[in-house]
Structure 1
Amino acid sequence: MCYEIVCSIVAAMTTATASRAPAAAPVRPRPRPRLDWRLRFAALSLIWGFSFLLIKVGTDGYAPFQVTLGRLVFGTAVLAAAMAVKRERLPRGARTWGHLTVAAFLLNALPFSLFAYSELTIPSTLAGICNATSPLWGMALSLVALSEDRPTRVRVAGLGIGFLGVLTVLGAWQGFAGLDATGTAMALLASLSYPIGWIYVRRTLAGSGASHLSLTGAQLLLATVQLAVVTPLFTSLPTQVSLVPLLAIVALGALGTGLAVLIQYGLVAEVGPTTAQMVTYFIPVIATGAGVALLGESLSWSTPVGAVVVLAGAALTQVRRKSA
């Protein structure tokens, strides 16, 4: 969900920090986290895997825009608390805030809303698998937008295999029978929005001088403002408070958006972005299991088989050429 956001900002900030650091600066060892990174990795996989179930439950009682707004409010609150504890300040500069406004739309407001709307008509299992196509879209876009990202035969093959898996999940040989085209298109568009935002962040926010936490906190704040403006225009106040959907929205925001980002920051800092991004391959598995076991969603053979093919293709797109 947000792994590409975190890793892109961390990479950009790391590059900027390295360029400003003195050549002979002493390296201070990082304090060792109390919880083993493998346990935090597993927790992050579960949190993001269950996010699609929480979206589905939330939309049972509230409009999609209301679900997204609530998610952003509670997620922003968690990051604001973390910033207060670490005494972090919001970034400065009109240019930085302008770029963060665009990033907030592409990486939060738009995909979160699209996933919420898509799950009105498609199962959470399908939404979770569509989310796994983000690395495929990212690979395709980076070949065009990032001159330093050169294609290899393995990565191009992975792109083709991945999209073959998408067609398998959607049942292309059956003419996409029984599939809601609008909901599926929304989920795929949401997945496409992530790498577009990632490329934008990489091109515009490198060297901004603000911390990772400060940038993401400001980004979620801006996305919350965007949804706060849009939501009243397209929805009306709910006539009654549905407790279970409300709790799902709280969990989606506080855990799936706020806490998950903080966990991912720690993982990227400790084990690097490559290992941290491996969480991508567990999300659709957990989302599928949760949807089938807890929501009673149906599962045909093509869904898990196609999901495996998608993940295999996504893994191949992440293979980099070894430096000489």
Structure 2
Amino acid sequence: MNVQKTISTRAWLEMGMLALIWGASFLTIAIALREIGPMTVVAHRVGWAAVALWIAVVAMKLPIPRAPRVWAAFLVMGLLNNVIPFGLMAWGQTHIESGLTSILNASTAIFGVLMAALFFADEKLTLRKTIGVSLGFAGVATAIGIENLYTFDLRSLPQLAVIGGTISYAIASVWARKMLSDQPPQVAAAGMVTGATLIMLPLAWITEGPITLNLAPETLAAIMYFALGATALAYLLYYRVLAMAGSGNLMLVTLMVAPIAILLGSIILGEVLTPSAYVGFALLAIGMLVIDGRVWRLHRGWAR
């Protein structure tokens, strides 16, 4: 039975910090994409994060795995949780606003529920989860704009690419539970971004040319932020919050990320989202809250 933990004040504060870190990552990626390509952005993100995370692993004196099976699992995890979603979302951001990318990214939890129901006997779809998932899909469709799905204009494919990234995240969560549950979280995170780096460095070099640090100061600052802050530090903070609040509560971070990304994109990049994007996010948020269960239980309590 999955028991919902109570969120302490400290957990709320750290969830807010994590949401702020991730919310700003969409802005910094948009800034970096002005000078470098999406594959190079991802290579920088996972490469520098790998260095920082292994330093943390060594400092924490955690055991480093040696079994080839574990490193193969790291490689697949890096592909599913970093290479595919980071690449698709970075490419998507070359055509759509960072705020809209963050809204679509919030659907990760919706796809995560579906993948868990497909692969794990203890994660079956209940009536509550089915309603939540349905509302979430309605929110995604509204945010994208049904008309864009019919016409496949310049904006529709990048938005679908972002959705593809969230599906990859969901598959990665299944892979992690099946293959990496015996590893310390910090080691799993370091191994994952190392696997992603082994894929991204040659891929970025082949598709976009040699990777260089001869970049504008704002681009270097953006890389430092989304690699060290929004990836390495965020993963370490993520597992702290997970231990304090539980996985169900941690899902609420996704709801906090999108408004921050929208606000920063509007203030700094001058982005303007359509009303349908906000309506879609509202539906998605309601769906995630239904999946979370507290609103559902409160409603049932009132009905008695």
Query: Could you state the TM-score of these two structures normalised by the residue count of structure 1?
Result: 0.82
Select 2:175's aligned residue among 186, 200, 210: 200
Select 1:216's aligned residue among 189, 192, 201: 189
Match of 1:58 in 2: 32
Could you give the per-residue CA deviations for residues 220-270 of structure 1, whole angstroms, max 9, x where no partner exists?
111111111211111113795222122101100000000011111111122
> Residue type matched to 2:95 in 1?
T
Answer yes or no: is the 8 Å Cα contact 1:75–1:257 preserved in 2: yes
- Once residues 128 and 271 of structure 1 are traced to their aligned partners in structure 2, the CA distance between those partners, rounded to angstroms, is 23
- Once residues 36 and 78 of structure 1 are traced to their aligned partners in structure 2, the CA distance between those partners, rounded to angstroms, is 25
**1:177 Cα deviation from its structure 2 partner:** 8.4
Select 1:157's aligned residue among 131, 136, 149: 131
> Residue type matched to 2:160 in 1?
A
**1:179 Cα deviation from its structure 2 partner:** 5.7
Assess, with a 3 A threshold, how the Cα gap between structure 1 residues 213 and 295 changes in structure 2: closer, same or farther: same
Match of 2:300 in 1: none
Assess, with a 3 A threshold, how the Cα gap between structure 1 residues 310 and 283 changes in structure 2: closer, same or farther: same
Match of 1:81 in 2: 55
Could you give the per-residue CA deviations for residues 146-192 of structure 1, whole angstroms, max 9, x where no partner exists?
22212111111111111111121122157568661221111110111
**1:38 Cα deviation from its structure 2 partner:** 3.0
Match of 2:210 in 1: 237
RMSD: 2.2
Q: Give identity over the alignment, percent.
A: 26
Assess, with a 3 A threshold, how the Cα gap between structure 1 residues 288 and 177 changes in structure 2: closer, same or farther: farther
Structure 1 residue 48 corresponds to structure 2 residue 18: no
Assess, with a 3 A threshold, how the Cα gap between structure 1 residues 156 and 179 changes in structure 2: closer, same or farther: farther
Aligned residues: 286
Structure 1 residue 169 corresponds to structure 2 residue 143: yes
**1:211 Cα deviation from its structure 2 partner:** 1.7
Select 2:165's aligned residue among 190, 202, 205: 190
- Once residues 176 and 136 of structure 1 are traced to their aligned partners in structure 2, the CA distance between those partners, rounded to angstroms, is 25
> Residue type matched to 1:280 in 2?
T
Assess, with a 3 A threshold, how the Cα gap between structure 1 residues 156 and 88 changes in structure 2: closer, same or farther: same
Match of 2:155 in 1: 180
Assess, with a 3 A threshold, how the Cα gap between structure 1 residues 133 and 224 changes in structure 2: closer, same or farther: same
Q: Which runs of 5+ in 1 are unaligned?
A: 1-34
- Once residues 229 and 238 of structure 1 are traced to their aligned partners in structure 2, the CA distance between those partners, rounded to angstroms, is 10
Assess, with a 3 A threshold, how the Cα gap between structure 1 residues 204 and 302 changes in structure 2: closer, same or farther: same
Q: Which protein has the bigger helix share?
A: 2
Structure 1 residue 91 corresponds to structure 2 residue 65: yes
SS in 1 for 2:123: coil
Assess, with a 3 A threshold, how the Cα gap between structure 1 residues 314 and 39 changes in structure 2: closer, same or farther: closer
SS in 2 for 1:299: coil
Q: Please say which of residues 101-110 and 241-250 is displaced more in the overlay.
A: 241-250
Q: Please say which of residues 132-141 and 255-264 is displaced more in the overlay.
A: 132-141
- Once residues 250 and 17 of structure 2 are traced to their aligned partners in structure 1, the CA distance between those partners, rounded to angstroms, is 12
Match of 2:4 in 1: none
> Residue type matched to 1:190 in 2?
G
Could you give the per-residue CA deviations for residues 187-212 of structure 1, whole angstroms, max 9, x where no partner exists?
11011100101111112223x3x322
Match of 1:148 in 2: 122
Matches of residues 8-157 of structure 1 in structure 2 within 5 Å?
A: 36-157=10-131
- Once residues 316 and 195 of structure 1 are traced to their aligned partners in structure 2, the CA distance between those partners, rounded to angstroms, is 18
Query: Could you state the TM-score of these two structures normalised by the residue count of structure 2?
Result: 0.87
Q: Please say which of residues 267-276 and 64-73 is displaced more in the overlay.
A: 267-276
- Once residues 195 and 33 of structure 2 are traced to their aligned partners in structure 1, the CA distance between those partners, rounded to angstroms, is 23
> Residue type matched to 1:163 in 2?
F
Structure 1 residue 280 corresponds to structure 2 residue 263: no
- Once residues 270 and 157 of structure 1 are traced to their aligned partners in structure 2, the CA distance between those partners, rounded to angstroms, is 28
Answer yes or no: is the 8 Å Cα contact 1:90–1:218 preserved in 2: no
Answer yes or no: is the 8 Å Cα contact 1:165–1:309 preserved in 2: yes
Answer yes or no: is the 8 Å Cα contact 1:69–1:224 preserved in 2: yes
**1:69 Cα deviation from its structure 2 partner:** 0.7
